[in-house]
Structure 1
Amino acid sequence: MLRGLTTVRFHTTDLESAKRWYTELLGIEPYFERPGYAEFRIGDYEHELGLLDSKYAGTLGAHGDGTIAGGPVIYWHVDDIRTTLDRLLSLGATPHEPIREFGEGFIAASVVDPFGNTLGIMQNRHYLDILSTTTR
C-alpha cells in the first residue's frame, strides 16, 4: 500500500531563514516555491523536502483530540489515494488533512494513526517518473 517515500514536510516559524539555511546545507535553491512553502529535490532519487510556514500548519487539521499536529509530515506514494485513505480510516486512523490536489499529478492527504503519528499519503507523479528510470 505504501510504495515509497515521496515528500518530507518540515514546519518553520521563519520560512525565509529556513530556505536560506537549507539552501546552504544542500548547495541548491528550492526548485518550487509558493507563498508559505518551498521545496527542494534531494538525494539519489530526488526525494522532496518541503518547508511550510507554521502559520499554515494549523489550518490543515488537528489530531483527533483537537491538538494541532507538530513535527514533520512524511508522505508516501500510493496508487489510489481515496482507497488508501478509506482503508486507513477503517483501521482507526483519524482525518488530519483532507484530500487536496496540488496540480500536475500531485494529490495528498494525511491521517493521525491510533498512536498519535501523522501519516501522509500522496499520489505523486514525480515518484512515478523516478521509478520508471530505475531497474529493480
Structure 2
Amino acid sequence: MLRGLTTVTFFADDVAAAGSWYAGLLGVEPYFVRPVAGTPAYVEFRIGDYQHELGIADSRFAVGGRPSDGEGGGAVVYWHVDEVQAAFERLLSLGATVHEKPVERGPGFVTASVVDPFGNVLGVMHNRHYLDVLASAGR
C-alpha cells in the first residue's frame, strides 16, 4: 500500500523567506516555484539519496489551519543524517528551536527534532536500516 515517501509539505506564512531558509540549510535552490500574484505560493526541493521532495506551501492552503501556539505541530518526518548532534546544532544555529534534543532509541538509531522558524517540526535521524537499504541498492 505505502510504497515510499513522495513529498513532505511544510507550511509558512512567508514562502519566499522559508524557501530561502531551506535553500541555505540544504545547499540547493528549489527546483520548482509556483507563484500566485507575483510571490511564491509553493516551492519544492529535491533532496537526499532518493531525491525525495520537500515542499513549502503558503499557510493559507493548510487544510484545517495550523497550530497557533508557536510550538510547531503535525507529524514528525525524520530525514536521515550521518551525525545527528551536528545536524541538530546546525539547525539551531540557523534559527530553529528545540523540539526534542537528540535521543538514542536503540543501537544505530538516534533522533532529534526542531521547530523551524516557520512553525514546522523537522526531524533528523541516524537510522542504520536506511543505510542498509542504501547499501543494498548499490548507492
TM-score (norm 1): 0.50
TM-score (norm 2): 0.49
